[in-house]
């Protein structure tokens, strides 16, 4: 699989600044019994395929939620398995990529396809029901 690098500056990569932003507020999701319930109607970042959002704070792990170009939702632990930097989806590809200079790149199932990461990226089961995205983080 050919690897495309997300267009980021040297400084963004050196500082580990991900392309995916934090939401304006965190009112659209909650955590209970190891499950995140996210109201898709309140998440403009995820309305269109190729959108993504970071969920952080008040969670045991950082989570990246991606609405793939195939229409499927996916959730990842937002922690590159090389040295822990955050990851981003790469538009026009079926990959997610570390925001660091080393650009570890993973397929949509979290398998490493390029870069220094040794382990698979952790993914979480997701389910869509009644306009809600359920993410099982355990």
Contact set with ligand FES (CB under 6 A):
80, 82-85, 98, 100, 102, 104, 115-117
The smaller minimum CB distance to ligand FES, of residues 93 and 100, is found at 100
Considering the complex, what minimum distance in angstroms separates the CB of residue 80 from ligand FES?
Answer: 3
Give all strands of the β-sheet with 29-32 in edge-to-edge order. 29-32, 35-39, 132-136, 126-129
Beta bridge partners of 133: 38, 128
Give the HSE-up count for residue 129: Cα atoms under 13 Å, Cβ half-sphere: 6
The smaller minimum CB distance to ligand FES, of residues 4 and 82, is found at 82
At residue 34, what are phi and psi to the nearest 5 degrees? Answer: 75, 10
Considering the complex, what minimum distance in angstroms separates the CB of residue 105 from ligand FES?
Answer: 9
| Residue bearing tokens 């109201």 | 39
Considering the complex, what minimum distance in angstroms separates the CB of residue 1 from ligand FES?
Answer: 17
The smaller minimum CB distance to ligand FES, of residues 16 and 49, is found at 16
């Amino acid at each position: 699989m050919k690897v495309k690098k997300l267009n980021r500056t040297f400084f963004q990569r050196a500082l580990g600044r991900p392309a995916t932003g934090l939401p304006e507020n965190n009112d659209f999701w909650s955590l209970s019994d190891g499950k995140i319930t996210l109201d898709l109607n309140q998440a403009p970042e995820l309305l269109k395929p190729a959108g993504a959002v970071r969920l952080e704070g008040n969670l045991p792990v950082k989570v990246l939620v991606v609405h793939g170009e195939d229409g499927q939702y996916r959730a990842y632990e937002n922690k590159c398995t090389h040295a822990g930097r955050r990851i981003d989806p790469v538009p026009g590809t079926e990959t997610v990529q570390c925001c660091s200079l080393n650009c570890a790149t993973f397929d949509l199932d979290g398998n490493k396809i390029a870069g220094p990461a040794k382990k698979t990226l952790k993914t979480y089961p997701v389910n869509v029901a009644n306009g809600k995205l359920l993410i099982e983080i355990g």
